[in-house]
Amino acid sequence: MSRSSSGRSLAFWRDVRVVRIAMQLVFLAALALFVYWLYSNYVVNTRRFNFGFDFVSSTAGFTVSEGLAHERTDSNGKLFLVGLLNSLRVIIIGIVLASLLGLIAGVSRLSDNWLICRIATIYIETIRNTPLLVQLFFWYTAVFLKLPLVHESIALPGAIYLSQRGLVLPKPYLTDGVELWRWFLLAGALVGLVVYIARRVHLARAERPGSPFLWGVGVFGGIAALGWWISPQHPVAWEAAELGRFNFQGGLQLSPEFVAVLLGLVIYTGAFIAEIVRAGILAVSKGQREAALAVGLTRIQTLRLVILPQALRVIVPPVTSQYLNLAKNSSLAVAVGFPDLFNVAGTIINKTGREVEMILAIMGSYLTMSLLTSLFMNWYNRRIRFVER
């Protein structure tokens, strides 16, 4: 191709192969120059050449209000870990609750019931169209900080208390009864597994639809319940919080910051997931449902075997990006003072003045979280993807 028909060789600057390599070299050179320019400015501006992470092991000299136990004398790295774990706590609980809320709201918006449909629509349209930050400030300053003082806590049924100090829940703990129950759990798991495999083989041989998984779980649950009933003492008990002189003692105490961030993220992301769920269910054509009912599947079977598998295929990829959004949005916790990764890192920057290193660390952490989430969801997506035959 590089030679013209008359046999003269092509000038080298018109040779596609040369031009391609030259263009890339020019691009690289420009990029390198640009980065060098930035770096030289950095050196001039900070008069510092000691880029490095040695400050990670030096003493932090501050503490944050919640999270993994730590001291003032702990290192910056330890504090960073505290923040990271706090972020992960919000993200993981948030993803589970937002999925539930989104599923309920999305199905509600398709409900035959006019009122339910309207309520879901209003929820979704209100929440999706206002900034998350406004909502977070609203939950924190206008709701949680306006709650009564600890001694006048709002008591909800089930030993749940709401006050300015946050949400107090009863905490489950293991009693001595667990010694016996443990064996029941093990036996239940084994028998459940056997039942699952047997049922699965049987169904495959009979070429019938069914859910061996539900059978397995049912058997496991039955045996576990039996063990619970037989045990001399209930294996798990609830420790209710009690109001002490200044604050609640015991129980599971959640700070107002944590609850505000969680509530804000769940309600916000739930609205987006609801729209995705609705779109996914609507994407399954009506004929599929009618055909399934016509061949004699029950309504539940239709939903489980025909509608949901097809809807999930449409739902999973956008929901993945909503999960990623939730993880990234958790950094807004800094606005209400929850000591998450970003907040703690900000304090470390103020204390040590290592902006560049810390920002690299923050970005690296979020990138890793995003990458892990999308790896997992891609794996799940591949599992449920439509297999073309």
Partner 1 sequence: MLPPPTVRVGPIRWLKENLFSTWYNTLLTFLALAFIYAVLKGVLAWALTQADWAVIPPNLKLLLVGFYPQGELWRIWIGLYLILGLVGLSAGIWGKLLRDAVVLIGSAVILLGLVLWLTNWGELLWLTGLAVTMFGGIGLGWLVRSKLGSPKSWKRSLMVLWLLAPVLVILLLTGAPGILTSVPTTQWGGLLLTYALAIVSIFLSFPLGVLLALGRRSALPVIRWFSIGYIEVIRGVPLITVLFMASLMLPLFLPSSWRVDHVIRAITAFTLFTAAYVAENVRGGLQAVPYGHIDAARALGLNPLLTTALIVLPQALRAVIPANVGQFISLFKDTSLVFIVPLLDFLGIALDVIKDPKWGGPASEMLLFVALMYWMFTYFMSHMSRRLEKALGVGER
Q: Does 293 bind partner 1 (CB under 8 A)?
A: no
Burial class of residue 208, CB neighbours in 10 A (0-12, 13-18, 19+): exposed
Parallel, antiparallel, or unpaired: how do β-strands 171-174 and 248-249 relate?
A: unpaired
Count of residues near partner 1 by CB under 8 A:
56
Contact 284, 307 (CB under 8 A): yes
How far apart, in whole angstroms, are the C-alpha atoms of residue 332 and residue 325?
Answer: 11
Contact with partner 1 (CB under 8 A) among 349, 351, 381, 384:
349
Of 58, 367, 375, 378, the one binding partner 1 (CB under 8 A) is 367
CA 219 to chain centre: 30
- Of 317, 316, 319, the residue nearest 327 (C-alpha): 319
Regarding 356 and contact with partner 1 (CB under 8 A), the answer is yes
Report the distance separating Cα 112 and Cα 90, nearest Å: 34
Token digits of residue 363: 């970005």
Region of residue 226 (left: phi > 0; alpha: psi -120 to 50; beta: else):
alpha
Neighbours of 147 (CB within 10 A): 17
Decide: 127 and 268 in contact? Cβ < 8 Å: yes
Q: How far is the CB of 200 from partner 1 (least distance, A)?
A: 33
Which residues 22-51 are close enough to bind partner 1 by CB under 8 A? Answer: 23-24, 27-28, 31, 38-39, 41-42, 44-46
Judged by CB under 8 A, the residue of 84, 132, 284, 348 near partner 1 is: 132
Between 28 and 291, name the residue whose CB sits nearer to partner 1.
Answer: 28
CA 179 – CA 182 distance, rounded (Å) = 6
3-state secondary structure at position 234: coil
Min CB(36)–partner 1 separation in Å:
11
CB of 140 to partner 1, least distance (A): 9
Q: Quick one: 200 or 289, whose CB is closer to partner 1?
A: 289
Between residues 152 and 179, which has the closer beta carbon with respect to partner 1?
152
Taking the least distance from each CB to partner 1, the nearer of 6 and 129 is: 129
Is 359 a binding residue for partner 1 by CB under 8 A? The answer is yes
Which residues lie near partner 1 (CB under 8 A)?
20, 23-24, 27-28, 31, 38-39, 41-42, 44-46, 111-116, 119, 125-126, 128-135, 137-138, 141-142, 145-146, 324, 328-332, 334-335, 342, 346, 349, 355-356, 359, 362-363, 366-367, 370-371
